[in-house]
Chain A
Amino acid sequence: MAGIAVEYFLFVMISCCGVLQFVATRWKLSGISFFNRTTFGYLFAVLAVGGSFSWFFTIEDRCVPGIEGAEVFALFIAGSLASFIITASLSSVIKRKLRLSVKQHNPEEDPGLDCLRRMTYFQALARHLRKKGRG
């Protein structure tokens, strides 16, 4: 039982990383994208989603009793959160150069996720905390 739970968690996490790269590329959220070229973003998304589905559904027969509905839901939430943390961290390291545009950026213009078009997640968060500390 623990085996399938770990496998499902990994499957969701990798798939969600792929989905995040797809949306980052499609909606130009450079701050959470790993790549500068759109082709690489889409390619990563296809490989991550396709690869994780192929892996999860071929390593073992999934038509056997496994995890229950509530556990599946909890594992999906945990996997998707983990994928966001990984994506935000990795893209913050890769896209350090975006800091140049942070100085010119007025966060009032881009509320919420739109801010990630110009800066990485942790840059945006640090800016928010600094602003809160001052005000």
Chain B
Amino acid sequence: MQSADKTLFFWINDLAGEVSIVDRFMRLIGNDYFILAGMALVVFAMWFTGRNPEHRERNQRAVWYALIGVGFACAIVAICNAFYDRLRPFDMYPGDVELLFYRPTDPSFPSNTAATAFAFASGIWLGNRRVGYFLLLPAFLVSFARVFIGVHYPFDVLGGAIIGIAATLGALLVLRILEPFPTWVLNGMRRIYLA
């Protein structure tokens, strides 16, 4: 498994350093802010979006799934990091990795960025399939870019993606268990014109 991960990593990372504009693009989408901020802006827009109050409420519940899912995903990643410290590829194979990024000091597995991106995408997908599918594209892009720039193995981002999706399903379950509390909060916000 580790061997397949290594092979796949070098297959992708060997593409780095070949074409300057591709490297710059990957550095941009693979950094800590670009894609995640863009996805968060889509989630922010979803709160105000809807053909009618029912449609808007579905979108607003999706925003909750996404936000709580991101919170759960980050917590799961932190727990994994406490128990399993996988070295980053550039630490494991110094000199062999084309590193286009700074050297993060936290464990490689799982990828927090991938977990967050997939939690956003799957959370929105639960309430709005069309926008959810659209958000999967940047989630895949940032995951690929993290491997390309040399900071994660493919299995790190795969693990992050699975954690992100599972965390969102956990958020859905928790919000269903907590009913009618989420509905009260939403109705309260609607009364002061915030939802």
Interface residues, chain A, CB within 8 Å of chain B?
8, 11-12, 15-16, 19-20, 22-24, 26-27, 29, 49, 53, 56-57, 62-66, 69-70, 72-73, 76, 80, 111-116, 121, 124-125, 128
Interface residues, chain B, CB within 8 Å of chain A?
27-28, 30-34, 36-38, 40-41, 44-45, 48-50, 53, 56, 70, 74, 100-102, 104, 112, 116, 149, 189-195
Q: Is the pair A69, B74 in contact by a Cβ cutoff of 8 Å?
A: yes
- Contact A112 to B195, CB < 8 A, known contacts A8-B33, A62-B31, A69-B112: yes
Which residues in A have their C-beta under 8 angstroms from that of B49?
A: 23, 26-27
Q: Is the pair A63, B190 in contact by a Cβ cutoff of 8 Å?
A: no
28 residue pairs of the A-B complex, CB under 8 angstroms, read: A11-B37, A12-B37, A15-B37, A16-B44, A19-B41, A19-B45, A22-B45, A23-B45, A23-B48, A27-B50, A53-B34, A62-B34, A63-B30, A65-B102, A65-B104, A66-B32, A69-B116, A72-B33, A76-B37, A76-B40, A111-B53, A112-B193, A113-B190, A113-B195, A116-B193, A121-B193, A124-B193, A128-B192
A92 to chain B, nearest CB (A): 12
Q: How far is the CA of A72 from the CA of B116 in the complex (A)?
A: 12
B87 to chain A, nearest CB (A): 18
A120 to chain B, nearest CB (A): 10
| 9 interchain residue pairs of minimum CB distance | A112-B190, A23-B48, A124-B193, A62-B31, A19-B45, A63-B31, A63-B101, A63-B27, A64-B102
Partner of B53, one of A29, A49, A80, A112: A112
| Number of residue pairs spanning A and B whose beta carbons lie under 8 angstroms apart | 81
- Contact A20 to B102, CB < 8 A, known contacts A8-B33, A62-B32, A128-B193: no
Which residues in A have their C-beta under 8 angstroms from that of B41?
A: 15-16, 19, 49
Classify the secondary structure of B's interface with A. Answer: helix
Q: Is the pair B44, A19 in contact by a Cβ cutoff of 8 Å?
A: yes
Classify the secondary structure of A's interface with B. Answer: helix
- Nearest CB in chain A to that of B71: its residue: A73
Which residues in B have their C-beta under 8 angstroms from that of A121?
A: 193
Q: How far is the CA of A109 from the CA of B34 in the complex (A)?
A: 40
Q: How far is the CA of A41 from the CA of B186 in the complex (A)?
A: 28
* Further 7 A-B residue pairs, CB within 8 A, beyond A62-B32, A65-B102: A27-B50, A64-B102, A73-B70, A112-B190, A113-B48, A113-B190, A128-B191
Which residues in A have their C-beta under 8 angstroms from that of B32?
A: 62, 66, 72
